Structure 1
């Protein structure tokens, strides 16, 4: 559905790996929590490295945006990596 809409409006769709740990990665320092350190019920978490407090969903959205920007930048220098 998104690919169709992106094509309809002549926009690029950047696909992020579905297993990218966007909720568990600190958007401030890139520290990644361990496998069992963040439960689905945990809405807030503190980064043990930089001590920043994160809202799980806002942090994930920042990480997804940043990952998408990295993929777009790479695609301009290497080819269509991650672009649909």
Structure 2
């Protein structure tokens, strides 16, 4: 059996204040959409059992 080597790279970046604001706004939107979709799926599972 062949072994697979997995590698991870970490990069650090230093956003400007404007970029930091845009990132915060984007992540906030993503979090809202994810939580909304999760709530819809949870409700569908509870109501319909699927």
Higher relative contact order (CA 8 A, sep 6+): 1
Higher Cα Rg, which structure? 2
Q: Which has the higher helix share?
A: 2
Q: Give the alignment's TM-score, normalised by structure 1.
A: 0.31
Q: Which has the higher strand share?
A: 1
